[in-house]
Structure 1
Amino acid sequence: MPHFFRLALLSLLTLWLSGCNPFAGKQEVVRQTFYVFGTAVHIEIVNTPKDKAMSAINAIEVDFNHFNREWHAWEKGGLLSKVNDAIAQHQSIVVPASVKAFIVKSQRLSKESDYLFDPGIGNLLKLWGFESEDWHGPPPSQQAINHWLKTRPSIADIRFDGNKLSSTNSEVKLDFGGNAKGLALDRAINTLKSEGIENAIVNIGGDMRIIGTKDGHAWKIGVQDPKAPSNVIGMVKLSGDESIVTSGSYERFFKWKGKTYSHILDPNTGYPAEHFLSVTVIDKDATTADSASTALMVAGPKRWQKVAKQMGITKAYLVDDKGHEIITDAMKPYLTLLPSHKTP
């Protein structure tokens, strides 16, 4: 199935599970879809006058498009591209306070993850060909990976003097594909809250943050089967203010000589993480959830509990490469597996 169509299908499945039936419900519902970050963005707002809801949605769309231009690691002209150029040229660059705050937060999250989540590995992603939408192999040579590992660039190498950014390692290339959607979700919800909107869901390609309720009931969100991504195997109920993010080896990958290579890379080995098929995380902060889902994918069965504790994650659903499932105690009240789904 083409990449774009699969993402759009997931989003539609998720909205269907949210109870978005135009002929049902007592509250006024406003829905809008637009495309950014290479995927479909769905926003649904309930119990809010249409003009007020559309004004907020339009503001989010403008912000997302600006955000995508500025934070895209591989397109020239944006802020992140300029930062990466400065780092490569051993130069410093002044950045806005909001940019510094996100980078500092990402540094903290990376440290808490033991740097299994690390936005400083952009050049490793480039080696594997995952900087573009046309990923097809072949995998990089062991020599190229060894060269990257020798320099081991990391977001930890970024320094600030006030708002002036520099790096102690010119091989650092920042790529926030691992948590930028989380930041976008947090920004969107902040916009909605600032407009006095209390009940809504923002969905970026299957990653979501919700506030309030849907018709007084929890929002219902579908969970993909990582072995058959077009299928839903469970349902999560969220209300209040929560985010849910999934990282999966099925999202971006290529096959080469019979072996599958995922875009989720282990900075310690230079190779794709292989132990988990998917990790779903719930947290009030979408940036944290996005970062943690990637980190736990890399951590694997032996290290995920330690990393989750360090990152403050208690609600997680993990599926390993043999199809075995792990559901944390804190996650169990939120997740219901469908009757047709059998746990191995």
Structure 2
Amino acid sequence: MTSRLPRIGLALAAAVLLAAIVVTSAVNRRTLYTTTWFDLFDTVSVVKGYARSQAEWDEQMEALHADLLHYHQLFDIYHSYDGMVNLCDVNARAAEAPVAVEDDLYGFLDWCANTIYSETDGATNIAAGAVLSLWHDARESDAPAPPDSARIEQALGHISMENLQLDAAAHTVFFADAAMSLDVGAVGKGYAVEKAAEAAQARGLDSALLNIGGNLRAIGEKANSEGAWTVGVENPWGNEPTYIQTLTLPDGYSLIVSGDYQRYFEYEGVRYSHLIDLTTGYPARYCSSVAILAPAGGGGTGDALSTALFCLPEETGRTVLENAEGYEALWMYPDGSTTQSDGWTGQPTE
């Protein structure tokens, strides 16, 4: 009898320990939540992630939405807002005199002009508003049709980055060409998502997947030991399957896709997308879509690269990509074929 007592004691202790582990696991287990917004960047935004309570999730989402809304308003070229000088204000006044802007807008413009423009071989050009506005107006009209070729040719003469003059000491913006204007649609959303995600992580959000109009950004992994986030590359050809490839998105990584199926109009049987080849002034027709896998912290550059590689021949795009360390790409063509960079990690769907 006495020899069995230690064994019984050990078994009892093990049972208590196991029960404690189960209880602790249950207490620490987090719930999956989803939030949807319709007021950001003229698109649908969906964020899903894990939290210990609805209140915790709601608090994080309120702060995240506020950050994204700030950038939405800051980069808006069609509306002004009380309490800030945004791009609409800059476009309206910068040809008359230097316009003072806050640090966040100045830093963004400086990055676009002095880093992104050269890194994308000029294909991502925020000073191209004169051309982009023609196509925007055509796309939004009651009877969409391509702009007159003479107007396009004239507008191409007013997209020089050299005429965007930034004063680092005064934080001012000036247009040396009165006919130029800024449009940051090629890069603004990716930059905003990256900045907002970084701020959310600093506040303690550690398990979420942001999908801001197709710009995907991972924060941590799924909770409850469920592994990394899995995302898909949307089919650009309008048939099945919905996603042609899937890939794992590690913490901090982004997936950004630019395609001719996202915003476009058709005229006399021809599709005209919103992605403009600035060497011609007309929509780029090199491929159907380009997906960029951006490394941790690279969502802004990834957005710029997705636009650039869509608007460049693949050979030129590969040269641009080779100079962007850590970024990978998938090209999708109208005939249903694809090509990819050596480090692309996507796998075809079954």
Same fold (TM over 0.5): yes
Contact 1:247 1:279 in 2 (8 A): yes
After superposition, what is the alpha-carbon deviation per residue over 1:55-99, rounded to whole angstroms, capped at 9, x for unaligned?
A: 110112223233222321122456111111123x33111011111
> Does the 8 Å contact 1:32/1:57 carry over to 2?
yes
Q: CA deviation at 1:240?
A: 2.0
3-state DSSP of counterpart to 2:174: strand
Q: Shift in Å at residue 155 of structure 1?
A: 7.1
Aligned residues of 1:314 and 1:328 also touching (Cα < 8 A): no
TM-score w.r.t. the length of structure 2 is 0.83
Task: Name 2:150's counterpart in structure 1.
Answer: 143
Evaluate the alpha carbon distance shift between residue 156 and residue 326 of structure 1 in structure 2; reply closer, same or farther with a 3 A threshold: farther
Q: Does residue 112 of the first structure (1) align with residue 115 of the second (2)?
A: no
Select which of 53, 56, 72 maps to 2:57.
53
1:53 Cα offset (Å): 2.3
The CA distance in 2 between the partners of 1:200 and 1:308, in whole Å, is 28
Question: Which of 178, 187, 191 pairs up with 2:186?
Answer: 178
Is 1:229–1:250's contact at 8 Å kept on the other side of the alignment? no
Query: Would you say 1:99 and 2:105 are equivalent positions?
Result: yes
CA deviation after TM superposition for structure 1 residue 115, in Å? 0.8
Name the residue aligned to 2:222.
214
Equivalent positions of 1:85-96 (< 5 A) are 85-87=92-94, 89-96=95-102
Distance 1:158 1:97 in 2: 16
Q: How far 1:130 moved relative to its partner?
A: 5.0
The answer to whether the 8 Å contact 2:194/2:299 transfers is: yes
**Shift, 1:150, TM fit:** 2.8
Q: Name the structure 2 match of 1:223.
A: 233
Point out where structure 1 has 5 or more consecutive residues left out of the alignment.
1-25, 340-344
Relative to 1, partners in 2 of residues 1:201 and 1:127: Cα closer, same or farther, differing over 3 Å? Answer: same
Structure-2 change in CA distance of 1:221 and 1:204 (3 Å): same
Deviation of the 1:145 alpha carbon:
1.4
Paired letter, 1:193 = Q
Instruction: Select 1:306's aligned residue among 298, 310, 319.
Output: 319
Deviates more, 1:288-297 or 1:44-53: 44-53
Aligned equivalents of 1:155, 1:177: Cα separation in 2: 20
Partner residue in 1 for 2:22: none
SS of the residue aligned with 1:299?
coil
Q: Is the 8 A contact 2:245 2:346 kept in 1?
A: yes
Q: Percent identity at matched positions?
A: 24
Task: Tell me the residue number matched to 1:327.
Answer: 340
Query: Which residue, 121, 128, 143 being the options, matches 1:121?
Result: 128
Contact 1:136 1:255 in 2 (8 A): no
1:236 maps to 247
Count of residues in correspondence between the two structures: 311
Segments of 5+ residues of structure 2 without an aligned counterpart are 1-28
1:64 aligns with 2:99: no
Considering only aligned residues, what root-mean-square deviation do their CA atoms show, in Å?
2.1
CA contact (8 A) 2:131 2:156 kept: no
Q: Aligned partner of 1:329: which letter?
A: D
Amino acid corresponding to residue 116 of structure 1 in structure 2: A
**Aligned residue in 2 for 1:42:** 46
Q: Secondary structure, in 3 states, of the residue corresponding to 1:226?
A: coil
1:245-264 equivalences under 5 Å are 245-264=256-275
1:177/1:57 CA distance change after superposition, 3 Å? same
Do the aligned partners of 1:45 and 1:200 also contact (CA within 8 Å) in 2?
Answer: yes
1:314-335 CA-partner distances (Å, limit 9, x unpaired): 311111233321121211xx31
Question: More displaced, 150-159 or 249-258?
Answer: 150-159
Say if 1:44 and 1:251 are closer, same or farther in 2 by CA, change over 3 A: same
Q: What is the identity, as a one-letter code, of the residue corresponding to 1:83? A: V
Structure-2 change in CA distance of 1:290 and 1:130 (3 Å): farther
- Separation of aligned partners in 1, 2:282 and 2:138: 15
Alpha-carbon separation, structure 2, partners of 1:48 and 1:327 = 40
Question: Displacement of 1:262 after TM fit?
Answer: 1.0
CA distance in 1, matches of 2:331, 2:308: 12
Q: Calculate the TM-score normalised by the size of structure 1.
A: 0.84
Q: Which residue in the other structure is 1:20 paired with?
A: none
Higher alpha-carbon deviation: 176-185 or 153-162: 153-162
Pairing 1:75–2:85 present: no
Report the Cα offset of residue 304 of structure 1. 0.9
SS at match of 1:111: helix
Distance 1:166 1:102 in 2: 15
Displacement after TM superposition at 1:222 (Å)? 1.6
Shift in Å at residue 295 of structure 1?
0.3
